């Protein structure tokens, strides 16, 4: 089990890792990876002697960093089943897959199954390949700008996110500077499966293999359509016109076609006009220079808690 000691849950309760170790007992091991270098070392060790299950405790940022390190170290070999023990500010991958088990309860279930030599039930889902990294939700334009504003000061959480959302749309009604900053557009060429999109400026561009992006909003409503492709969403409408889509997006119906183009695809090439692209992968912010390719990553198996299995 890999634990992010910097995650929100571990900051609030520094005894969690110790309790995880006590729950696992002799059938498992808890590893705290305080840095990306240490995480890479641990991923290499696991690749040499793969365990039956790899548990990950943290949010979506932790998940995508760990998955990327494991894929890099395992190479072409499949990863062991992954158990999501949510403990971060954002847990949209687990929520999208219907995994809502309490971490200690799920770990206790896994330890009990290991002692009984009972294999886990799993659900399969591919990840994205974004440049040379891997994750589940990619976004630029207002999605990255929103997170840039969100991380600008301490105090993460749903209340802060809702406050930014409300302030943004309030500012948009008067063409305010705040809304212009959050909704500053991406300019460039986007090609999806070899076909260029007709828009040279976009409010936001998203690609994902899971539906949710946070707070229950299912922005990538087509992510479940094809298990071997990812959802693409190109939003070309302005901030105010998108307000009417908030409820449909929350219900999983997506943004209306008049305001956003959607598809499922296997590859997307992004070529920004100014050479720089601010984007997010699973809640972490990145900047790239030059073209960026988004493709489909390997198929992963996620442990489905027995209490929620159907």
Does one domain contain both 114 and 220? no
Q: Please compute the mean of the pLDDT values over residues 203-214 and round it to a whole number.
A: 95
Q: What is the 3-state secondary structure (H, E, C) of 8-48?
A: HHHHHCCCHHHHHHHHHHHHCCCEECCCHHHHHHHHHHHHH
Q: Please compute the mean of the pLDDT values over residues 9-27 and round it to a whole number.
A: 87
Does one domain contain both 239 and 219? yes
Does one domain contain both 191 and 255? yes
* DSSP conformational letter for 7: S
Q: What is the predicted pLDDT for the residue at 309?
A: 43
Cα 247 from chain centroid (whole Å): 21
Q: What is the CATH number of the domain that holds 90?
A: 3.40.50.10330
Phi–psi pair at 42, nearest 5 degrees: -65, -40
Q: How many domains are contained in the chain?
A: 2
Does one domain contain both 103 and 50? yes
Q: Exposed, middle or buried by CB within 10 Å (0-12, 13-18, 19+), for 283?
A: buried
Q: What is the predicted pLDDT for the residue at 310?
A: 38
The torsion defined by the Cα of 261, 264, 266 and 272, in degrees rounded to 10, comes to: 20
How far is 230 from 223, CA to CA, in rounded Å?
Answer: 6
Q: What is the predicted pLDDT for the residue at 307?
A: 63
Query: By percentage, how much of the chain surpasses pLDDT 70?
Result: 99
Q: Which helix (H) or strand (E) holds 277?
A: strand 276-281
* 208 — pLDDT class (breaks 50, 70, 90): very high
Q: Has residue 286 been placed in a domain?
A: no
Domain residue limits at 152 = 137-281
Ordered DSSP codes for 82-133: EEEEE-SS--HHHHHTT----HHHHHHHHHHHHHTT-PPPEEEEEEEEETTE
How far is 237 from 136, CA to CA, in rounded Å?
Answer: 24
Pairing of strands 284-289, 260-265: unpaired
Does one domain contain both 164 and 54? no
Task: Name the more confident of 275 and 63.
Answer: 63
Tens digit of each residue's pLDDT (9 = 90 or more) over 136-186:
999 999 999 999 998 888 777 778 888 888 888 889 888 899 989 999 999
Does one domain contain both 190 and 276? yes
Does one domain contain both 162 and 262? yes
Q: What is the CATH number of the domain that holds 235?
A: 2.60.200.40
Mean pLDDT of the chain: 91
How far is 245 from 267, CA to CA, in rounded Å?
Answer: 27
Does one domain contain both 19 and 82? yes
Ordered DSSP codes for 188-219: EEEEETTEE-S-SEESEEEEESSS--BTTB--
Does one domain contain both 118 and 151? no
Does one domain contain both 202 and 244? yes
Does one domain contain both 174 and 65? no
Residues 6 or more apart whose Cβ sits within 8 Å of residue 210: 92, 93, 96, 97, 125, 136, 137, 220, 223
Q: Has residue 293 been placed in a domain?
A: no
Does one domain contain both 117 and 151? no
Q: What is the predicted pLDDT for the residue at 63?
A: 94
Q: Has residue 290 been placed in a domain?
A: no
How far is 293 from 269, CA to CA, in rounded Å?
Answer: 5
Query: At residue 194, does pLDDT exceed 90?
Result: yes
User: Which among 16, 2, 132 has a CA at the least distance from the CA of 80?
Assistant: 2
Query: At residue 9, does pLDDT exceed 80?
Result: no
């Amino acid at each position: 089990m890999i634990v992010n000691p910097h995650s929100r849950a571990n900051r609030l309760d520094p005894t969690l890792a110790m309790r995880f170790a006590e729950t696992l007992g002799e059938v498992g091991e808890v590893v705290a990876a305080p840095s990306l270098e240490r995480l890479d070392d641990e991923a290499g060790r696991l690749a040499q002697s793969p365990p039956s299950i790899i548990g990950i405790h943290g949010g979506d940022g932790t998940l995508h960093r760990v998955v990327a390190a494991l894929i890099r170290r395992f190479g072409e070999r499949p990863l062991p089943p992954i158990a999501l023990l949510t403990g971060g500010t954002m847990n949209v991958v687990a929520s999208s897959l219907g995994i809502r088990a309490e971490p200690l309860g799920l770990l206790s279930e896994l330890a009990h199954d290991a002692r009984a030599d009972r294999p886990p039930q799993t659900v399969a889902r591919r990840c994205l390949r974004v440049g040379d990294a891997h994750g589940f939700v990619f976004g630029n334009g207002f999605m990255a700008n929103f997170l840039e504003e969100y991380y600008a000061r301490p105090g993460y959480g749903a209340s802060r996110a809702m406050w930014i959302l409300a302030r943004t749309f309030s500012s948009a009604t008067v063409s305010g500077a705040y809304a212009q900053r959050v909704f500053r557009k991406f300019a460039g060429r986007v090609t999806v499966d070899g076909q260029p999109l007709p828009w040279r400026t976009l409010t936001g561009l998203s690609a994902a293999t899971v539906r949710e992006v946070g707070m229950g909003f299912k922005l990538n409503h087509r992510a479940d359509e094809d298990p071997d492709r990812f959802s693409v969403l190109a939003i070309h409408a302005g901030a105010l016109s998108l307000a009417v889509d908030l409820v449909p997006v929350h219900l999983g119906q997506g943004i209306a076609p008049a305001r956003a183009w959607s598809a499922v695809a296997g590859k997307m090439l992004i070529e920004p006009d100014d050479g720089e692209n601010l984007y997010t992968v699973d809640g972490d912010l990145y900047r790239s220079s030059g073209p960026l390719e988004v493709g489909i990553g390997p198929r992963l198996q996620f442990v489905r808690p027995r209490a929620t299995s159907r």
